[in-house]
Copies of this chain bind each other. A is one copy, B any other.
Amino acid sequence: MDPRFLRTFVTVARLGSFSAAARELGYTQSAVSQHIGVLEADLGAPLLTRRPVEPTEAGARLLEHAEPILLRLDAARADVAKVAGGPPRSLRIGTTPLACGHAASLVAPALTVTVRVADRVTIAREVATGVLDVGFVDGVAAVNDPLRLPELGLTVAEVWEEPLAVAVPADHPLIARTVPGIARPSSFSRSTDESRRSRPAVRLEDLVDARWIDAPVVCAPLDELAAIARADGFRPALHYDGADVSGLLALVAAGHGLALLPRRVVTHGLALAEPALTHRTELLRLGG
């Protein structure tokens, strides 16, 4: 199973065409056909149907392994290159939108610093492959639990955890029902210990049936949230693909749904009863 063949296999599967894959990879169609042929002979099973070109069951199984393998091979190369190469000339920082504040905590030395914002998995991948030097990623997790990221041999160099809150519109019925009158803009920043204690916090499982906004780039994807909170059925009322927090908050304010975010960015929100759930930011580095 030559990695090159695996690469053409995933490319063919992705593009649904031998010829298109050949074009993308700089091979001839013939070569691609031979790659797939060798792979199928080696594994003893057809991996793709032809016309239309789609993965067979065996091919689907292989696909699920091939991509992590190829990614990890790139990570290995990048990791070796890093220790082999001398001191870095520039610093390339990657960060998810909400982790950007922590990224600023890195004192910038006398280097050219560039910052790139993307989603969690992209950041992890690019740190692993050496495109980025460090990455800041955030998400929702149980206290002291690492974020669930693809295993690429990355190390978590530093960790920050902060409380969560459910962002809600100012006039959301849930506020009226469970915590009357807290929906003031400064509810979190100004509330005293006393007012906070007197206000019952919301349990996540009670909000399962509410309308949620799925904003996987900004914070935890809903399906992941369901796994963490041990509650099925967080169905999205709306899918927000932006990377911008204020845009998400505007949607929440307009009543399109709720969102689970770090308390610091939430103006109208409900405190969480789950103390074991936090917003976690991790600083990722390559190697050990």
A244 → chain B, closest Cβ, in Å?
Answer: 32
A62 vs B144: C-alpha distance in the bound complex, in angstroms? 29
A276 vs B143: C-alpha distance in the bound complex, in angstroms? 11
Are B1 and A76 closer than 8 Å at their CB atoms?
Answer: yes
Q: Which of B65, B77, B287 contacts A79 (CB 8 A)?
A: B65
Beyond A43-B80, A45-B84, list 13 extra A-B contacts (CB 8 Å): A1-B73, A43-B77, A47-B80, A57-B83, A58-B80, A58-B84, A61-B80, A61-B288, A62-B79, A64-B287, A64-B288, A65-B79, A142-B145
**Contact residues of A between 1 and 15, Cβ < 8 Å to B:** 1-3
**Cβ contacts A19-61/B at 8 Å (1 or 0 each):** 0000000000000000000000001110100000000011001
Are B76 and A65 closer than 8 Å at their CB atoms?
Answer: yes
Is chain A's interface secondary structure helix, strand, loop, or mixed overall?
A: helix
Number of this chain's copies in the complex: 2
**Cβ contacts A120-142/B at 8 Å (1 or 0 each):** 00000000000000000000001
Q: Is A203 an interface residue (CB 8 A)?
A: no
Closest 9 CB pairs of A and B: A65-B76, A45-B84, A151-B151, A61-B79, A58-B80, A43-B80, A144-B230, A58-B83, A57-B83
A19 → chain B, closest Cβ, in Å?
Answer: 25
A109 vs B196: C-alpha distance in the bound complex, in angstroms? 58
**Cβ contacts A62-91/B at 8 Å (1 or 0 each):** 101110110011011101111110000000
Are B72 and A68 closer than 8 Å at their CB atoms?
Answer: yes
A142 vs B142: C-alpha distance in the bound complex, in angstroms? 9
Are B72 and A65 closer than 8 Å at their CB atoms?
Answer: yes
A144 vs B274: C-alpha distance in the bound complex, in angstroms? 14
Q: Is A242 an interface residue (CB 8 A)?
A: no
Given the complex, which residues of B lie within 8 Å of A62, measured CB to CB? 76, 79-80
Are A44 and B84 closer than 8 Å at their CB atoms?
Answer: yes
Q: Is A200 an interface residue (CB 8 A)?
A: no
A217 → chain B, closest Cβ, in Å?
Answer: 23
Q: Which of B43, B65, B81, B287 contacts A81 (CB 8 A)?
A: B43
